[in-house]
């Protein structure tokens, strides 16, 4: 069993470690995907801004060229030259940008040859700048203006579409990563966390239950008795404590053997559990002794409950090699009533156990197979009511 438990612990540890490492790696991957997405969006916004400026500059050049042709001055020449230089710089920046997708770059060179059109457009603009009376260059510039604007619009649209597609792709990848993390968390819960909780529950039950009868053990019952005692003291209520002992059980073990005795103990425990309320608690006190904690039960209620159990066990029959075995029980009952009219507050749980044990002794002395209540005349060495 030790080797099996050690193997299970090792397996759980390995699975838990693998899942944690996987979640950590996926989280790092998601972080880098988000960083890449933000960087791509930032770059796309920068490029789209430049492309949009190209459209504006193409129109600004034709406006400045018209003004320069009508009335050439140093100011009109400077305005036209500045717009030409800006468009030239923006064009070179776009076609040399390493982060721009290859398919978008190809739009500059094929099929509309926007690169050549832009170069031609800038060349005509410089001719008008150098000679304001060059009608041929100016007319050609005007003819190119609108088609070039449409081509530049196409470039901007392509940039936007490419950015949206990249963002959508990264978004889907992130969702896939998150789904995988969620799946790993479920695996961790099913194969690691749940077995651990089940083991903890098993060990907890093992710590508070008697393995043979399934009743609470003595240590846990003492704790429950102490809690109920304090609760009754606080709220001025009552409870009853019963000690149950199987009559002449040693002779059963001697005559039929301990395995048969264990079966009878289990049967007695099951009968007690079936006869008490769900709010009451029963424990194996030791050997063939059992204890009962009857919540909010006075002497009459405790006696009736004990009698019900006694009669049920008296009717219980266990078969051993075609021989019917019957057992009886003796019960000692002690009731504690915390009211403002009596002195029960001075009682302790130890006193209650002693009272019930004394009442049990009296039941044994008076012939067994009966229930006895503790009272003042039962003993002189316990706290009187």
pLDDT in tens, 220-264: 999 999 999 999 888 888 999 999 999 999 999 999 999 999 999
pLDDT in tens, 94-140: 777 666 666 666 666 666 677 788 888 888 888 888 888 888 888 88
Query: Mean pLDDT, to the nearest integer, of 341-354?
Result: 76
5 pLDDT above the threshold of 70: no
- pLDDT bin (cut points 50, 70, 90) of residue 4 is low
Smallest CA-to-CA distance from 221 within 171, 129, 275, 285 is with: 285
Decide which of 364 and 204 is more confident: 364
State pTM to two decimals.
Answer: 0.54
Beta-carbon contacts of 279 under 8 Å, excluding residues fewer than 6 positions away, are 295
Q: How many CB atoms lie within 10 A of CB 356?
A: 25
**214/269 Cα distance (integer angstroms):** 8
Q: What pLDDT score does 3 carry?
A: 44
Residues 33, 36, 42, 47: what is their CA dihedral angle, to the nearest 10 degrees?
Answer: -130
Of all residues in the chain, the percent with pLDDT exceeding 70 is 83
Decide which of 120 and 29 is more confident: 120
Query: Mean pLDDT, to the nearest integer, of 265-277?
Result: 94
Decide which of 385 and 18 is more confident: 18
Q: What pLDDT score does 101 carry?
A: 61
Q: What pLDDT score does 343 carry?
A: 53
Q: What pLDDT score does 361 carry?
A: 95
Question: Mean pLDDT highest for which of 37-41, 151-155, 242-246?
Answer: 242-246
Q: What is the DSSP string of 272-283?
A: HHHHS-TTSEEE
pLDDT in tens, 54-107: 888 888 888 888 888 888 888 888 988 898 898 888 878 777 766 666 666 666
**221/320 Cα distance (integer angstroms):** 32
- With the C-alpha atoms ordered 187, 190, 191, 194, is the resulting torsion angle positive or negative? positive
Q: What pLDDT score does 57 carry?
A: 85
Smallest CA-to-CA distance from 360 within 337, 385, 382 is with: 382
Of all residues in the chain, the percent with pLDDT exceeding 90 is 33
**H or E stretch at 354:** helix 349-365
Positions annotated as catalytic residues are: 288
Burial label for 200, CB within 10 Å (0-12, 13-18, 19+), is: exposed
Decide which of 343 and 306 is more confident: 306
Average pLDDT, the chain: 82
pLDDT in tens, 154-195: 777 777 777 777 777 777 777 777 787 777 777 766 766 677
- Write out the two tokens for 215: 């009743």
Tell me the domains of the chain and their CATH numbers.
2-189 (1.20.120.1730), 218-373 (3.30.70.270)
36 pLDDT above the threshold of 90: no
Decide which of 342 and 146 is more confident: 146
331, 244 contact by CB (below 8 A): yes
Decide which of 163 and 317 is more confident: 317
| DSSP code for 331 | E
346 pLDDT above the threshold of 70: no
- Write out the two tokens for 45: 């916004």
43 pLDDT above the threshold of 70: no
158, 114 contact by CB (below 8 A): no
Query: Mean pLDDT, to the nearest integer, of 146-156?
Result: 79
349 pLDDT above the threshold of 70: yes
Q: 353-356 long-range contacts, Cβ below 8 Å, gap at least 24?
A: 353/225, 353/241, 353/243, 354/382, 355/241, 355/379, 355/382, 356/241, 356/242, 356/243, 356/291, 356/332
CA distances for 97 relative to 44, 52, 91, 116, 234, angstroms: 11, 16, 10, 18, 82
Beta-carbon contacts of 241 under 8 Å, excluding residues fewer than 6 positions away, are 225, 291, 292, 293, 294, 333, 334, 335, 336, 352, 353, 355, 356
């Amino acid at each position: 069993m030790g080797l099996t438990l050690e193997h299970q612990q090792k397996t759980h540890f390995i699975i838990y470690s693998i899942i944690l490492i996987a979640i950590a790696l996926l989280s790092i991957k998601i972080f880098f995907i988000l960083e890449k997405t933000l960087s791509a969006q930032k770059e796309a916004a920068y490029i789209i801004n430049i492309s949009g400026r190209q459209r504006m500059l193409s129109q600004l050049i034709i406006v400045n060229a018209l003004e320069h042709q009508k009335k050439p001055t140093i100011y009109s020449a400077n305005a036209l030259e500045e717009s030409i230089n800006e468009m030239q710089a923006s064009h070179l920046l776009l076609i040399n940008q390493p982060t721009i997708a290859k398919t978008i770059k190809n739009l500059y060179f094929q099929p509309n040859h926007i690169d050549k059109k832009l170069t031609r457009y800038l060349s005509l603009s410089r001719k008008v700048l150098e000679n304001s009376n060059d009608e041929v260059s100016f007319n050609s510039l005007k003819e190119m203006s609108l088609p070039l604007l449409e081509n530049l619009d196409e470039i901007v649209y392509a940039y936007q579409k490419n950015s949206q597609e990249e963002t959508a792709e990264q978004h889907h990848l992130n969702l896939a990563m998150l789904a995988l993390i969620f799946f790993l968390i479920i695996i961790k819960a099913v194969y690691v966390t749940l077995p651990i909780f089940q083991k903890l529950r098993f060990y907890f039950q093992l710590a508070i239950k008697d393995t043979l009868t399934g009743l609470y053990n003595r240590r846990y019952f003492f704790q429950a008795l102490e809690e109920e005692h304090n609760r009754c003291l606080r709220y001025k209520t009552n409870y009853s404590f019963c000690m149950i002992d199987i009559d002449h059980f040693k002779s059963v073990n001697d005559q039929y053997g301990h395995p048969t005795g264990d079966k009878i103990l289990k049967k007695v425990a099951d009968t007690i559990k079936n006869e008490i309320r769900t709010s009451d608690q029963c424990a194996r006190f030791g050997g063939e002794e059992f204890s009962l904690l009857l919540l909010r039960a006075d002497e009459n209620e405790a006696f009736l409950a004990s009698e019900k159990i006694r009669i049920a066990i008296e009717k219980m029959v266990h078969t051993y090699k075609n021989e019917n075995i019957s057992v009886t029980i003796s019960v000692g009952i002690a009731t504690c009533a915390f009211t403002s009219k009596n002195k029960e507050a001075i009682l302790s749980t130890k006193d209650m156990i002693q009272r019930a044990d004394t009442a049990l002794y009296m039941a044994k002395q008076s012939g067994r197979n009966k229930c006895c209540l503790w009272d003042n005349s039962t003993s002189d060495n316990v706290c009187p009511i």
